[in-house]
Each structure stands twice: as structure tokens, then as C-alpha cells.
Chain A
Amino acid sequence: MSSNTIAQDAPELRSINRSGIEVPTSVAASAVHPEGIGAPGAYPFTRGIFPDGYQGRLWTVRQYSGFGTAEESNERYKFLLAKGQTGLSVALDLPTQCGFDPTHPMARPEIGKVGVSLSNLSEAEILFRDLDLSQISTSFTINGTAAIIYAMYLAVADKQNVPRSKLTGTLQNDILKEYVARGTWIFPVRPSMRLIADSILYSNDVSPRFNPISIAGAHVRDAGATAAEEMAYTLANGLAYVEELRARGGDVDKFAKRLSFFFYVHMDFFEEIAKFRAGRRLWARMMKERYGVEDPKAQHFRFGVVCGGSSLVAPQPYNNVVRVAVETMAAVFGGAQSIFTCAFDEAFQIPTEFSAELAVRTQQIIAYESGIGRTVDPLGGSYFLEEHTDRMEEKIMQVMGEIDAYGGVIRAIEDGWIQLRLAERGLERKLDTDSGEHVIVGQNHFKKPNEEIKVGEVFKLDPTIAARALEKFQRVLDTRAQSAVDAALAKLAIAAANDRENVMPYLVDCCHAYATVGEMVACLKQEWGEFKEPVNL
């Protein structure tokens, strides 16, 4: 390709964004309606949940951290804590996420691969050995078995004599998006909703500083949903949890303060900013108008974001550095509470120390050099942004209305309706990318001639991890008091069969008895059955 042909590669600027909203060339002052916007920190929180924005508190800078065995992770955590980090993130392997013990045939090829294997309390004791759980905040990326992993964390705290009330951290614990896009479901939708409600209500009581759920749109976005759909599905899921919590006796003014959200940021700058502002306003309004929530803290839409994800590509990988910077700024203008920046090479290999550091530096440059965080919601009042936020809000409400018209998220997921919609959207995005209509510089336009793209190692593969995990697992089975395990599991079964019980205390007892994740899941499956995945394509 000569420089001539590069100059001729001039893709059109589309006037409709991917959410399907017409983006105007110019917006008149009359498009802005200040009365519906409100002040920063005031209802309906279009301009942010705090009056002082990032001057009051900067967003949390989240960092990539590796994994391996519980022993290796424990060492890594100690290293990070010594360097001043206070938040730990725990990734679990797929057997732990899907509720299989390492001895299960399905588990074998996956032991310890995408995270640590926490098959029973003894592994959690190793993972948190010599760490003061009252001083650290632990974030668990766990969903299908979130209640069990949370029970295990409580059991570790009990063993370390740390009061449960001092625990801080976050569980993802969002099963609805698992059925749609991430796939670590176990039980049918309805008992899963009960399990989540049980864990949230229990956590509100015993560990009130802990965030027991992070309702995530990121995964449906990565699978192909538009920004408006990402927000709409997430808000709809959020409302489904609120309904379940209320049905189980929860007080919305109390539990709503502990709900948090999690999104991707992609490249359409104002679409993203408008998405966050519209979502924050919609959530506050729904809390107030539908549920009569008056406490502002229970109206707050707190969210974290990941910059990068599927918007990063392998060709001309350094372009991704620019993408992450643009996306991080969108997250800041959108008022995010925490930001995780992907490393530029994440699209094709495990990030190196260099690329992981650059990802964090990107946030620090934006935080401390650019100055864009000084004034809360600095773009608020922009004719275009306010108008775009209104359009985005309409679009989000339209998608939520379609889900309602179908019969609500639970039914839409049980029938596979949302899954199919998402697959079709994913196909659409892929075809638009293939054709170059959805411009990705370096991949479908402005390509470098003869660029060689090499996919490196994406997961750490240590062949000895599985063998060691199995050995340790067998030792636990051999040394624990079997009668205590049987008794604890029997009580769990009774609690699971009784819809008026909260299963959490029974799960904690099972953990204390060294019952395994696989045993607890099997016990609950006996009572609740398994999700039957709709495969209608």
C-alpha cells in the first residue's frame, strides 16, 4: 500500500451512533432543559452523586494482578500491600466458578487456569494467610458460586478472629448476566435469584461495609450489545434484584445503598459519557418514583468501569494506548467511581509488566496532569451533551420497555430471548467491522502492509498446578471430620428447601466444616435443579 492509497482511505463519519441515535451536526441552546438536570450531588444526579466530584475523592485506580495458586497469590498480595496497595482482586478458576471440585472430570483441564482454585476453606486460609482482613478490601470476580465464596471469606475472618463487621470488599454476584453472556450459571434463574438475595441481605446485616453485588453490563457489551442496550439490560437486571430483595423482606432504603454497577467504556466518547449520565439519572428516578426511596445514598448509582476490552485490537497494538486514554477520559467525564484500564497488549497476550504499568500511568496522567477531574461534571450544560444524554435516556428506556413487553428479564432469559437478541447484535457488529463500516484504525482501515500479528500466551499454563491442587484437595478430604461435613450439608439441604430461610449461615457452617464447593453446589442442585440452557439459535 502506498501513501497515496492511505490518503484515499477516508471512511465516512456516520451520523448515527451504534446505539441507533441520530447525532446532530449542531445543537441549539433551546435543546437544554436545566430543570431536569439538577446540580452535582443532587437528585436526579445527572451531574454525579457527589457535589465535589473528584475533588472530594478521586476514582479508585484498579490494577491488573496476576494469579496462579493460592500460595503464589498470597505472596503477590503481600508484595502489593507492602507497596501501599489496599485493594486486592481475586480471580477464581472455572471449576470454582461453576461449582465443580478439582476431581470432577470437567474440572481437570481448567484447574488453576484463569484464576485460583478455592475448592474449600483450607485454600482460602492459604490465600489470605498473614493478611489482616480488617485492613484490606477484597474484590471477588465470582457469580454462580458467589454466596459460597462469600461464606468462605466470612469463615476465614472468623478463624482469624476478625469481626465480620470490619470486612470490606466486593462480590460480583450478578447471575443474570451470566445466563446472557458469561456462562457460569449453575441453578435455574429463580433459585439463583433467591441465593443472591440471601447473600445480599445477610451481608447487609453481618458485614455492612461489604458490597455484596456489582451488577455488570460489561459482559453483554463485550458480546455485542450497544451502549444503550448495555445500560438498559443492566438497569433491568438491577430492578429484578431489587424486586427479589423486597420479596424476601429486604428494606430497599437499606440494601440499595450497597448495590453497585460495572460497565465497559468503548470509543464513542459522547455516547459513553451520555450513557453514564443517563443511567445515573434513570436509576435515581426509578428508586425514588417506583420504590419511594428518599435517602439519597440509596438513590446513588455507583459504578466502576473497564476501559478497553473488546475495543482493543491486535493490529498496530500501540494504537490501543490512545484508545485507552480516550476511554478513560470518557469514564472520568461520566463520573465513574473506579477505573480499570486494560493493557494495550491484552488483546493478544498476557500483559507484560511494562504494558500493565502503562495502563495505570494513563489514569494517573489523566488524573494529575490533565486537570479534567478538578471540576465536577465539567461538560455539564453543554448543549450537545445534555441533548445527547436525553436521547440516550430515551433509547435506554425504549430497550427496557421492550424487555418489559416480553415479560421481564427473568422470563426473557429463561426463554433465551435476550441471548438470541445479543447474538444477532454481535453478528451485526462483526459484519460492520468486517465491512469497515464500523471503523477500527489499523484493523479495517489504515492498515499497515504485511503486518504480522502474533497471538502470544493468553493464559498462564503451569502443568504442575493441577497436580498440586488435587493433592491438597485429597489431603483435606482425608483429614476433615466427615460427620461434621455430613451434618452441615444436611442442614443446608433443609434450609434450601425452605424458601423462608436464608441459606447463608448454613453455607458458612459448611465452609467451617471444610465441605467443598462441589459438595455444597451438589447439595443445592438436589433441591433446586440445574439451569437448562435454551439453545434456540
Chain B
Amino acid sequence: MNTLLQTRPALAGKRILIGKPGLDGHDIGAKIVALTLRNAGAEVIYTGLRRSPLQIAQVAVDEGVDAVGLSILSGSHKELVADVMTQLRELKAADIKVFVGGTIPAEDQLHLRELGVAAIFTADMPLTDVVRILGERLA
């Protein structure tokens, strides 16, 4: 836990929404990241399972979050991430940063970055890196 304490200020004052778009029910990654970001000082809201891209974008706007993290392991990341970003733009909230976690093939990572995704996290990445990178992107 010491390493987390050292990075605690990294996300102080940030509001972050963790969302599970689509029907994928594997949520342990989303929950681990949510707990980690909270331990790093962020205020974290978790949507729970099976949210539509519109629902997630709406909650993000209503809650005035700085960033939305999307956790997807069903292979539908391209469609779902693009949908959430479109909905955010339509709600005039394109400034909300989007990051993605899950099983994302290398070439799809490139595609998601082109869509404007701020960061992509895979399961093997140390949590301290997740906190550090998010801290940089949300600075």
C-alpha cells in the first residue's frame, strides 16, 4: 500500500466515472481500478453492469466528471467506445477524457487512440502506472 500512498496526491480532487458498457459481466477489473483510483485520492462513481453508451455519457455529464473509464472484455470495445465518445460530443462534453481497460488487441489499441482515447490499460499493467498515467492525462 506504500506505493499507493506516495501517489495519493496524483488524483486528488478528480472525479472519475467507471462504466461497464454493453452486456459483458466481468467487472473485477473495473472494480479494482475504481478502488485504486479512490485510494489515489479521486472521487469515483461506478455505474454497475449493462449500461448503454448514452446512459454512461449522461451520468458523466450529470456528475461533472473529469474522466470516464470504460471496462470492456467482450471484444466489443471498438463499437462501444466510439458510441460513448459520440454521445459525449452530442452532450457537448467532449472535454471529458475517456480511458479504456480490458483485453484490447494491439491493432485495436491504435484504432482507439485515433478515436481520441486518452489511455488504454491492460490487466498486466501495474496499478501504480495506471494512477501515474491518469494523473498526467488529467493534469
Q: How far is the CA of A246 from the CA of B31 in the complex (A)?
A: 36
Q: Is A100 an interface residue (CB 8 A)?
A: yes
Chain A residues contacting B25 (CB-CB under 8 Å) are 178, 182-185
Of all chain B residues, which has the CB nearest A178? B25
Is B124 positioned at the interface, with any CB of A under 8 Å from its CB? yes
Q: In the complex, which residues 20-73 of chain B have their Cβ closer than 8 Å to any Cβ of chain A?
A: 22-28, 31-32, 34-36, 38, 44, 46-50, 52
A106 neighbours in B (Cβ, 8 Å): 22-23, 50, 52
Q: Which of A132-140, A259-267, A426-434 is found at the contact surface with chain B?
A: A426-434
Given the contacts A110-B22, A455-B105, A443 and B124 also touching, CB distance less than 8 Å: yes
A100 contacts B106, C-beta separation under 8 Å: no
B32–A113 contact, CB under 8 A?
A: no
**Smallest CB separation, A327 vs chain B (Å):** 19
Q: Considering only CB atoms, which chain B residue lies closest to A97 in the complex?
A: B23
Q: Do the beta carbons of A535 and B46 come within 8 Å of each other?
A: yes
A465 at the interface (CB under 8 A from B): no
With contacts A105-B52, A457-B105, A535-B48 taken as known, whether A424 is within 8 angstroms of B26 at the C-beta atoms is no
B105 to chain A minimum Cβ distance, whole angstroms, is 5
* Complex interface bits, A310-324 against B, C-beta within 8 A gives 1, otherwise 0: 000111000000000
Q: Which residues of B contact A110 (CB under 8 A)?
A: 22-24, 74, 76
CB distance from B73 to the nearest CB of A (A): 8
- Given A313-B124, A458-B105, A459-B75, is A181 in contact with B47 using a C-beta cutoff of 8 Å? no
* A183 in contact with B27 given A533-B48, A535-B48 (CB within 8 Å): yes
A313-B49 Cα distance, complex, nearest whole Å: 26
Who on chain A is nearest to B27 by CB?
A: A183
Q: Which of A97, A315, A456 contacts B105 (CB 8 A)?
A: A456
A21 CA / B128 CA spacing, docked (Å): 29
**Chain A interface bracket (under 10, 10 to 19, 20 to 34, 35 or more):** 35 or more
Cβ–Cβ < 8 Å partners of A349 in chain B:
105
Let me know if A537 and B35 touch, CB within 8 A.
yes
Which residue of A has the minimal Cβ distance to B47?
Answer: A535
A212 at the interface (CB under 8 A from B): no
Q: Is the CB of A183 within 8 A of B24?
A: yes
The answer to whether residues A422 and B28 also contact, given A113-B76, A455-B122 and a CB cut-off of 8 A, is yes
Q: How far is the CB of A405 from chain B (nearest CB, A)?
A: 24
Complexed CA–CA distance, A426 and B71 (Å)? 16
Closest to A181 in B: B28
User: Quick check: is A400 within 8 A (CB to CB) of the other chain?
Assistant: no
Least Cβ–Cβ distance between B43 and chain A, in angstroms: 12
Q: Which residue of B lies closest to A434 (CB)?
A: B126
A113-B75, A461-B75 known; A427+B35 contact, CB < 8 A = yes
Which chain A residues numbered 104 to 147 have a C-beta less than 8 Å away from chain B? 105-110, 113-114
> Ordered nearest first, which 4 A-B pairs have the shortest CB separation?
A183-B25, A459-B75, A94-B23, A423-B31
Q: Can you name 20 A-B pairs with beta carbons within 8 Å?
A: A108-B79, A109-B79, A110-B22, A113-B76, A114-B74, A183-B50, A222-B28, A224-B28, A224-B32, A313-B124, A349-B105, A424-B35, A427-B36, A431-B1, A431-B127, A434-B127, A455-B103, A459-B74, A533-B48, A537-B46
- Residues of chain A touching chain B, judged by Cβ–Cβ distance below 8 Å, are 94-95, 97-98, 100, 105-110, 113-114, 178, 181-185, 222-224, 313-315, 349, 419, 422-424, 426-427, 430-431, 434-435, 443, 453-459, 461, 533, 535, 537
- Which residues of B line the A interface, CB within 8 A? 1, 3-4, 22-28, 31-32, 34-36, 38, 44, 46-50, 52, 74-76, 79-80, 103-106, 122, 124, 126-128
